[in-house]
Amino acid sequence: EVQLVESGGGLVQPGGSLRLSCAASGFTFSSYWMSWVRQAPGKGLEWVANIKQDGSEKYYVDSVKGRFTISRDNAKNSLYLQMNSLRAEDTAVYYCARGGAARDYYGMDVWGQGTTVTVSS
Amino acid sequence: QSVLTQPPSASGTPGQRVTISCSGSSSNIGSNYVYWYQQLPGTAPKLLIYRNNQRPSGVPDRFSGSKSGTSASLAISGLRSEDEADYYCAAWDDSLSGHVFGTGTKVTVL
């Protein structure tokens, strides 16, 4: 079964850091672009970042540039999101998704269940 | 950065056809594929349409997508109660070098 499972969410103070992980199974992880998408409470979806199969290309939404870093470990079938200098507006459910390249034919076709990040003092 | 505009809500009775619009620009919809995602209450989003008008396996043919210029639309025919959900369009934006999602449309089955 194709599956993505996020972990690492929690409560963190403003200015703090958190590292999210996404474990992939059931498909050849190293063959796909991967993405992070977030959803603030009661709000819509916001794309956060994506990364190429070999990690050589990464793109970020402007609001997280310089604070968040997307990475992957193909040997461990895992995707990561290192989040530093967290702000209240980063509070959201963070989803890991398969796909999401610029000219992606298939779109983000597999999603995890999400992990919740709350930034509050 | 929601640069794709959708109506906040749409509704219909069972069996009716509902259409959701998505308005963008030349840097996103006008030059890239459009995707549609369905998000049922309390669940993760699900890909509904890819490459403007293609359905992944398992998505009923009641759902159809189209694109013209800098706009796109999702049509749901034969509306069913289980179609009550939030629907989002999305596309890559060349100017932003990132994906953009629509503002989202909540579909209610009356």
Taking the CA of residue A100 and the nearest CA in chain B, the distance in Å comes to: 8
Residue B2 has pLDDT above 80, yes or no: no
pLDDT surpassing 90 at residue A102 = no
Q: Which residues of B16-51 are buried (b: 16+ CB within 10 A; e: fewer)?
A: eebebebbbbebbbebbbbbbbbbeeeebbbbbbbe
pLDDT at A103: 80
Confidence of residue A104 (pLDDT cuts 50, 70, 90): confident
Residue A103, Cβ density class (10 Å: 0-12 exposed, 13-18 middle, ≥19 buried): exposed
Question: Does A99 score more than 80 pLDDT?
Answer: yes
Tell me, what amino acid is at B39?
A: Q
CB contact under 8 A, B33 and A111: no
Distance of residue B38 Cα from the nearest chain A Cα, in angstroms: 11
Looking at CA atoms only, how far is residue B99 from chain A in angstroms?
6
Q: What is the pLDDT of residues A25-68, one digit of tens each?
A: 999 999 999 999 999 999 999 999 999 999 999 999 999 999 99
Residue B3 confidence (pLDDT) above 90:
no
> CB within 8 A of A41, min separation 6: which ones?
A91, A92
Q: How many CB pairs under 8 A join A and B?
A: 77
Q: What is the pLDDT of residue B110?
A: 94
Q: Tell me the per-residue pLDDT of B61-88, one tens digit each, with 9 for 90 and over.
A: 999 999 999 999 999 999 999 999 999 9
Q: How far apart are the first and last CA of chain B?
A: 31
> How far apart (Å, rounded) are the C-alpha atoms in residues A47 and B88?
12
pLDDT of residue B88: 98
Percent of chain B's residues with pLDDT above 90: 97
- Which tokens belong to B53? 């008008």
> Is B100 near chain A, with CB under 8 Å?
yes
Q: Do A103 and B32 touch (CB under 8 A)?
A: yes
CB–CB of B102/B4 below 8 Å? Answer: yes
- Tokens representing A101 are 């390249």
Task: Output the six-digit token pair for B59.
Answer: 């998505």
pLDDT at B1: 55
Residues 68-87 of A with CB under 8 A from B: none
Q: Any chain B CB within 8 A of the CB of A9?
A: no
Q: Which of B47, B94, B102 sits opposite A108 (nearest CB)?
A: B47
Distance CA A102, CA A8 (A): 27
The token pair at A27 is 């498909």
Token pair 């997508």 is found at B65
Share of chain A above pLDDT 70, in %: 100
Name the burial class of residue A2, with classes exposed (0-12), middle (13-18) and buried (19+) by CB atoms within 10 angstroms of its CB. Answer: exposed
Mean pLDDT of B37-57: 97
Apex CA B105: angle with CA A118 and CA A6, to 5°?
35
**Shortest CB distance from B44 goes to which of A59, A63, A95?**
A95
Tell me whether B71 touches chain A (CB under 8 Å): no
Q: What is the nearest CA distance from A45 to chain B, expressed in angstroms?
A: 6
Q: How many CB atoms lie within 10 A of CB B81?
A: 8
